[in-house]
């Protein structure tokens, strides 16, 4: 299970469209080929690659391992090469395999990284990737082709025009790259100049990168370009529109464009009405186009796990004195809040033991009891009763505050700083104390009742503890639910586990060889997830020094990672402007959510596990229905990157915090209620978003020159926000 799970599906994605386009009429999402031939194909591709690179021993070893005979392996290989698209297609396929290999084995993207260890030097690696562009056409005709297509698309009926316009961007990019690759620099430049302005504004960032690239040599190390090559750009087009396009291209004998469409694009054809411009716009914007529909077909068990039955001790009524009959009242809310749902298994919830969860310790049970008690005192929020907001301002944080986390009970606060330190503060009057040294511990009477108190060294009590260990900025911090541990992820490529008893580092998890942008503990502890610059999210268990799962598939850095409340899924947001949901059990990617127009920097699951909110650099918050894999809301208002998102404890309010020094509160209930997810929408995935951000916005709260980088609802629904005062 520790292997990469995504390789297969990605390869499948790339191979699929070919047959589909060949036999013309067949339905687009051709049933996925059975996994057996699929695996074999992958193996063969790998073998071929190894052979090309004269890695005979590896070939032998792999062959032995796979139990493949010499003979059959030869045949399909040549078949593949000769089959579909002649030499170009063959090399393209090889290229894909090579690229995959490099990603899988090195966990890295070629040129920016030190040369991958296994794949030999990266020269052939990249060249195979790029060789797909080697097909020669008359460079001067590219502009003619493109403007011909443009003219055609502008002339078609309005209903088709919006859909076919989606073709512009990927075609533009690929044509430009072809020109560059074939050393037609000046043609490439004039092509770019001429059609650059036609592209959608949300691709500006990518276009900027592209425009700087004018030489073949530059293409080697460019990550954006590799992303473009290693994945097909996905378009969703209605059958009618597609037929229209196809007829046009066949009439014109426009092979150049047709080839690009065949090789580099994945056209997801659906039956029914063409989509409107706004529908398309809301879903597009990611680095590789929209998500394929079948990507989001897998069933996701988004329900919550059954809470363990815990007897609330009835004796200590002192706190409950406010309400006269403490016992019945105490019991009831407990049932209301979680009991009723968990009594009968939620149909959408995963099996209780779908993934093994740690046993509850006594202290955990005590904490649960505390939680329930607090929950009874929780304020019901709503549009009329907004939460109070407390701002935790970091002063004198000249070294740069990069990450913040609160414990669930809001008793501790951790800050990660750019000077490689992690600082932990006690938010309550209770000071932070270390455990005594081993020698001193030996002298303690272990039988005494207050042994837990005795092991603490009173001399070390202080409000703040500094944890030293990282050698780069700390980009992510996360407390374990039991408050015994703290995780921190850093630019130095490690994730460190700290003990909050001794305030020392326990483990440094090495696996990401690149900056780790985010990490988070599972809501049940034990597991944690991390993601970083190497585009692979990893699932770890605290007692394993190697990851349990690797979630590969993102085309750019993973910027944020979040656990689903039931701990069975992990959501990752990426700089490729997509969100992916991964199944912890088997490592599959079960949801790909597109629609953001900028890197995603914050994610939040609703407390009931049904919804996901995501915030990005474009200042928009998007709401997602996990069950259907649909976008169900768009919250506009922020003017800068959203670094913090959090649902209130009962899910009525969504709070978002941003670089623009504001906290905004949104009416989450209404946002989710307004959505009518009829069967049609669910089936086609054509969302139509109401533009009601202003009605959903309940309040905008300004801080004073302090970007909001973390939000937290206390157990009683008080909103805590944190950020560093920025004096400039």
Q: What angle do CA 411, 564, 617 make, to 5 degrees?
A: 85
Q: How far is the CB of 535 from another protein (least distance, A)?
A: 12
What is the rounded distance in angstroms from the CA atom of residue 552 to the CA atom of residue 613? 22
Beta carbons of 405 and 478 less than 8 angstroms apart: yes
* For another protein, the closer CB: 283 or 696: 696
Candidate list 40, 165, 182, 211; residue touching another protein; CB under 8 A: 211
Candidate list 116, 139, 415, 615; residue touching another protein; CB under 8 A: 415
Candidate list 393, 460, 501, 677; residue touching another protein; CB under 8 A: 393
Q: How far is the CB of 68 from another protein (least distance, A)?
A: 37
Question: CB burial class (10 A; 0-12, 13-18, 19+) of residue 180?
Answer: buried
Q: Which two tokens stand for residue 404?
A: 């913040």
Q: How far is the CB of 424 from another protein (least distance, A)?
A: 11
Beta carbons of 412 and 727 less than 8 angstroms apart: no
* For another protein, the closer CB: 217 or 679: 217
Which residues lie below 8 Å from residue 71, measured CB to CB, with a gap of 6+?
A: none
Q: How far is the CB of 460 from another protein (least distance, A)?
A: 17
Give the number of C-alpha atoms closer than 13 A to the C-alpha of residue 582, restricted to the C-beta side. Answer: 29
* For another protein, the closer CB: 148 or 515: 515
Q: How far is the CB of 383 from another protein (least distance, A)?
A: 10
Selected range binding another protein among 50-58, 282-290, 302-310, 697-705, rule: CB under 8 A: 697-705
What is the rounded distance in angstroms from the CA atom of residue 246 to the CA atom of residue 263? 15
Candidate list 617, 648, 656, 714; residue touching another protein; CB under 8 A: 617
Beta carbons of 173 and 122 less than 8 angstroms apart: no
Candidate list 707, 711, 712, 717; residue touching another protein; CB under 8 A: 707
233-238 and 265-270 beta bridge pairing: parallel
Candidate list 172, 191, 203, 394; residue touching another protein; CB under 8 A: 394
Q: How far is the CB of 398 from another protein (least distance, A)?
A: 6
- In the region spanning residues 221 to 240, those forming contacts with another protein, defined by CB under 8 A, are 221-222
- In the region spanning residues 522 to 551, those forming contacts with another protein, defined by CB under 8 A, are 533
Selected range binding another protein among 173-181, 423-431, 623-631, 681-689, rule: CB under 8 A: 423-431
* For another protein, the closer CB: 113 or 675: 113
Give the number of C-alpha atoms closer than 13 A to the C-alpha of residue 226, restricted to the C-beta side. Answer: 25
* For another protein, the closer CB: 293 or 716: 716
Candidate list 372, 575, 622, 675; residue touching another protein; CB under 8 A: 575
Could you write out the DSSP letters of every residue in 4-17? BSHHHHHHHHHHTH
Instruction: List, in sequence order, every residue forming a beta bridge with 509; answer none if it has no partner.
Output: 495
What is the rounded distance in angstroms from the CA atom of residue 178 to the CA atom of residue 175? 5
Q: Which of 456, 532, 525, 515 is nearest to 487 (CA)?
A: 525
Selected range binding another protein among 116-124, 450-458, 539-547, 706-714, rule: CB under 8 A: 706-714
- In the region spanning residues 583 to 612, those forming contacts with another protein, defined by CB under 8 A, are 599, 601
SS3 readout for 254-321: CHHHHHHHHHHEEEEEECCCCCCHHHHHHHCCCCCECCCHHHHCCCCCCCCCCCCCCCCCCCCCCHHH
x/- string (CB under 8 A) for another protein, residues 647-676?
------------x-----x-----------
Which residues lie below 8 Å from residue 724, measured CB to CB, with a gap of 6+?
A: 393, 394, 395, 397, 400, 401, 706, 707, 709
* For another protein, the closer CB: 164 or 722: 722
Q: Which two tokens stand for residue 443?
A: 């002298």
* For another protein, the closer CB: 221 or 690: 221
- In the region spanning residues 142 to 201, those forming contacts with another protein, defined by CB under 8 A, are 186, 189, 193
Candidate list 58, 150, 425, 432; residue touching another protein; CB under 8 A: 425
SS3 readout for 582-628: EECCCCCEEEEEECCCCCEEEEEECCCCCEEEEEECCCEEEEEECCC
- In the region spanning residues 43 to 82, those forming contacts with another protein, defined by CB under 8 A, are none
- In the region spanning residues 109 to 138, those forming contacts with another protein, defined by CB under 8 A, are 112, 114
Q: How many residues touch another protein (CB under 8 A)?
A: 75
Give me Rg for the CA atoms of the chain.
Answer: 27
What is the rounded distance in angstroms from the CA atom of residue 177 to the CA atom of residue 187? 11
* For another protein, the closer CB: 237 or 558: 558
What's the Cα-to-Cα distance from 237 to each of 164, 232, 268, 289, 604, rounded to whole Å? 7, 15, 6, 12, 31
Q: Which two tokens stand for residue 146?
A: 């493109």
Candidate list 52, 54, 118, 215; residue touching another protein; CB under 8 A: 215
The answer to whether residue 371 forms part of the interface with another protein (CB under 8 A) is no
* For another protein, the closer CB: 187 or 290: 187
Q: Which of 375, 402, 401, 556 is nearest to 475 (CA)?
A: 402
Selected range binding another protein among 171-179, 327-335, 415-423, 604-612, rule: CB under 8 A: 415-423
Candidate list 23, 34, 155, 396; residue touching another protein; CB under 8 A: 396
Candidate list 491, 634, 652, 667; residue touching another protein; CB under 8 A: 491
Selected range binding another protein among 428-436, 496-504, 536-544, 704-712, rule: CB under 8 A: 704-712
- In the region spanning residues 295 to 354, those forming contacts with another protein, defined by CB under 8 A, are none
The answer to whether residue 141 forms part of the interface with another protein (CB under 8 A) is no
432-435 and 422-426 beta bridge pairing: unpaired
Candidate list 1, 2, 87, 209; residue touching another protein; CB under 8 A: 209
The answer to whether residue 461 forms part of the interface with another protein (CB under 8 A) is no
């Amino acid at each position: 299970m520790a292997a990469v799970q995504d390789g297969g599906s990605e390869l499948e994605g790339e191979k699929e469209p070919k047959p589909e386009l060949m036999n013309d009429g067949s339905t687009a999402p051709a049933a996925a080929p059975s996994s057996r031939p699929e695996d074999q194909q992958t193996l063969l591709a790998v073998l071929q690659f190894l052979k090309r690179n004269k890695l005979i021993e590896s070939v032998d070893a792999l062959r032995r391992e796979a139990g493949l005979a010499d003979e059959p392996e030869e045949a399909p290989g040549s078949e593949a090469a000769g089959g579909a698209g002649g030499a170009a297609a063959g090399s393209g396929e090889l290229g894909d395999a090579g690229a995959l290999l490099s990603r899988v084995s090195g966990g890295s993207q070629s040129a920016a990284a030190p040369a991958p260890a296994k794949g030999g030097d990266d020269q052939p690696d990249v060249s195979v990737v790029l060789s797909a562009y080697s097909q020669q056409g008359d460079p001067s005709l590219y502009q003619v082709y493109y403007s011909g297509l443009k003219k055609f698309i502008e002339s078609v009926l309005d209903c088709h025009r919006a859909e076919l316009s989606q073709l512009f961007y990927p075609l533009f990019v690929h044509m430009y790259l072809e020109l560059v690759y074939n050393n037609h620099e000046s043609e490439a430049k004039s092509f770019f100049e001429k059609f650059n302005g036609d592209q959608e504004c949300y691709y500006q960032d990518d276009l900027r990168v592209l425009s700087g690239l004018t030489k073949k040599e530059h293409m080697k190390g460019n990550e954006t370009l590799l992303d473009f090559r290693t994945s097909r750009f996905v378009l969703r087009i209605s059958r009618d529109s597609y037929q229209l396009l196809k007829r046009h291209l066949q009439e014109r004998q426009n092979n150049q464009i047709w080839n690009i469409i065949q090789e580099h694009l994945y056209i997801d054809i659906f039956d029914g009405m063409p989509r409107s411009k706004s529908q398309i716009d809301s879903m597009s914007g990611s680095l590789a186009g929209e998500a394929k529909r079948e990507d989001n077909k897998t069933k996701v068990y988004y329900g919550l796990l059954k809470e363990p039955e815990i007897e609330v001790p009835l004796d200590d009524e002192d706190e409950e004195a406010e309400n006269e009959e403490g016992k019945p009242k105490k019991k009831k809310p407990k049932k209301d809040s979680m009991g009723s749902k968990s009594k009968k298994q939620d149909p959408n919830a995963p099996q209780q033991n779908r993934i093994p969860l740690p046993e509850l310790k006594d202290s955990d049970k005590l904490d649960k009891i505390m939680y329930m008690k607090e929950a009874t005192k929780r304020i019901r929020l709503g549009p009329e009763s907004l939460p109070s907001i407390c701002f935790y301002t970091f002063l004198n944080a000249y070294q740069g505050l990069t990450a913040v986390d609160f414990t669930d009970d809001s008793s501790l606060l951790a800050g990660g700083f750019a000077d490689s330190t992690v600082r932990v503060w006690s938010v309550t009057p209770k000071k932070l104390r270390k455990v005594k040294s081993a020698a001193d511990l030996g002298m303690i009477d272990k039988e005494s009742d207050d042994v837990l108190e005795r092991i603490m060294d009173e001399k070390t009590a202080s409000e703040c503890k500094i944890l030293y260990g990282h050698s780069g900025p700390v980009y992510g911090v996360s407390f374990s639910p039991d408050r015994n541990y703290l995780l921190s992820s850093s630019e130095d490529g490690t994730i460190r586990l700290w003990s909050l008893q001794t305030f020392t580092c326990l483990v440094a998890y090495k696996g990401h060889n690149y900056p780790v942008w985010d990490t988070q503990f599972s809501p049940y502890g034990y597991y944690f997830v991390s993601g970083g610059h190497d585009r692979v999210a990893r699932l770890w268990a605290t007692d394993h020094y190697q990851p349990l799962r690797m979630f590969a598939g993102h085309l750019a850095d993973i910027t944020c990672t979040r656990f689903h409340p039931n701990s069975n899924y992990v959501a990752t947001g990426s700089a490729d402007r997509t969100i992916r949901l991964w199944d912890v059990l088997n490592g599959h990617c079960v949801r790909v959510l597109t629609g953001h127009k900028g890197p995603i920097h914050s994610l939040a699951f609703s407390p009931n596990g049904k919804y996901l909110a995501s915030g990005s650099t474009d200042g928009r918050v998007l709401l997602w229905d996990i069950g259907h894999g649909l976008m169900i809301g768009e919250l506009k208002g922020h003017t800068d990157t959203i670094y913090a998102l959090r649902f209130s404890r009962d899910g009525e309010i969504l709070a978002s915090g941003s670089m623009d020094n504001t906290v905004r509160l949104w009416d989450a209930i209404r946002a989710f209620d307004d959505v009518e997810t009829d069967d049609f929408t669910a089936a086609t995935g054509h969302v139509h978003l109401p533009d009601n951000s202003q009605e959903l916005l309940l309040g905008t709260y300004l801080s004073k020159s302090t970007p909001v980088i973390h939000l937290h609802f206390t157990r009683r629904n008080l909103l805590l926000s944190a950020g560093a005062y920025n004096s400039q």
